[in-house]
Each structure stands twice: as C-alpha cells, then as structure tokens.
Amino acid sequence: MARKGSDFAGLSVALVTPFTDGKVDVAKLREQVEFQIEAGTHCLVPVGTTGESPTLTHDEHEQVISEVVQIASGRIKVMAGTGSNSTAEALRLTTWAAKEGADAALLVAPYYNKPTQEGFYEHYKAIAEDVDIPLCVYNIPGRTAKNIEPDTICRLGELENITMVKEATGSMDQASQLLCDSNLTLLSGDDSMTLPLMSVGAEGVISVVGNIVPGDMISLVNAAASGDLPTAQQWHEKLFRLCREMLGLSTNPIPLKAAMKMLGRDTGDLRLPMTALGADAEALLQKTLEGYGLLASKN
C-alpha cells in the first residue's frame, strides 16, 4: 500500500543558488533546472540548506521559488524550501510557494530557539492548517540544535497534508520508528545514508551530490526500489566515496559549489558567512573528482 507522499519517491535534488555580482543569477538557475530535467530527476528542491537559504533576503527567497517553478513549467516537481525558526515567516513563505505553483514545501525544524516537542507540533500544525500543498518535515538536529522526536513526527503525520519526512538524524532506529508508526513517506537527508534507509523502507533521497551526478543517484535509488541489492550496493560504494571525500571537506554547499566550478558549471560565489575552500582542500577535491571519473587527471 502506497504511503502518503509516495508521489515524491525517487531522486530530489537540493539546488544551489547561483550568484553573480552578489545577486541571484536567473540564467544560471535555469541551466541547473534544465540539467536536472534532462537527467531524469524527479523533483527539485530550491532554497534549502544547499541553496544558502539563511543568506537570502525575503524577496530573494520568494524570487528563487517563483523562478524555479516557472522554469520547471510542470516538467518536473518542485518542493520549495520554506522553513524558518519563525512560524509566521515559515507560513508566509509556504503560502507564497503554494500561490506560485510549487508541488510541495520542505520545512526545516525551527532552529536556534529550540522549541519543546509541543512547540514543534504546533509550528507545523499551524502551517498545515493554512496551506493545502503537501508538506515535508525536515529533521536535521545537527543544524537546528534539537531533534524532532519520532512520536512528534508520527503525530504530525496524522495531519492530512503532512505527507513526508526528510530524515537527517543519522539514526536508523528513528527512521524505523517513523516507518513503523506512521504512513509518511521517508526521504533520506544524507546522500550516504540513502541505501541503508531505503533498505528499511525509505523511498528516495533529497540529494546534494545529485547536483553533479544525478544519473548515478537515480541508478542507486532505482536499483534499491526494485530490490536489486547487488547493483544498489555497487552504486552505494561508488557514491559513498564521493560523498565522504567531497562533502567531508567543508560545510555544504562550500565543496559542492567548488566542484561545480571545476566541472564547468560555475554557480558563482558563496555568501558570507560561507567562505570558499582553501587551496589544500581544492587540491583534494580535484583528486576526488578525478578518482570518480568526473575530471581527467592532470598527471
């Protein structure tokens, strides 16, 4: 029996936000959308962590959502990042995304202010009751400073349009409890955890490395979904090295933007407080991309 959010199964890619001269570069944003459509990606996720959403102004946040929806033009699903540590702001952004035609919204757990579990519940409930597009709870305590406990997420899953959870706690037990005790679709929030989570019932991933190797991530997800474990394991082992060696260099999206530049898909500078990779880290990244087969060796 299909879960509530199964129409978002597969590969979703968390897009970077391209900047030129300090401003959002719509032309480069278009290139990214077209790249993912051509690759066969199922869903785009603009203005999440990878999209440097904390550094965007409110107007820019709305602009990126609108541009991606318009460029996608129904050819690919769009799950807009609309979370905030302010319930009023998250509601405003989610309302905007729904008005602009987004297919769903991704809402990160309220960060910094560390709500109680009841506070988490009331935050998401307020948005779910006011906006009717599907909502995905994004639980990433490593960035938000507090876990949304599985009982709370399962309780949220009883609300009609909360249909998914992006799981980035690293806990297989937490993921398993969510799958056992709710009808939510679970999506991996860590590229390297995609196969382990799919082995217990997750249906896909919201991916960072999908920005550069969407076809490989699709191959992993499809193999896992079809029960072809040997093929899925092969892709997991290959992608794991890229995830570990690239994303381990610095905080996302710092190494990703550097990699995209090396691969001829420059998305511009990072915004402070994010800063570029140093020379030593860039050299390691170069070797990683060469080792994966994305760049020709300079030796």
What residues act catalytically?
A: 138, 166
Q: Is the peptide bond before 214 cis (omega within 30 degrees of 0)?
A: no
Are the C-beta atoms of 39 and 72 separated by less than 8 Å? no
Q: Which secondary-structure segment (H or E) carries 42?
A: none
Are the C-beta atoms of 248 and 215 separated by less than 8 Å? no
- Residue type (1 letter), 239: L
The distance from CA 193 to its chain's CA centroid, rounded to whole angstroms, is 13
Beta strands 204-207 and 43-45 are unpaired
- DSSP summary character for residue 210: G
Are the C-beta atoms of 72 and 33 separated by less than 8 Å? yes
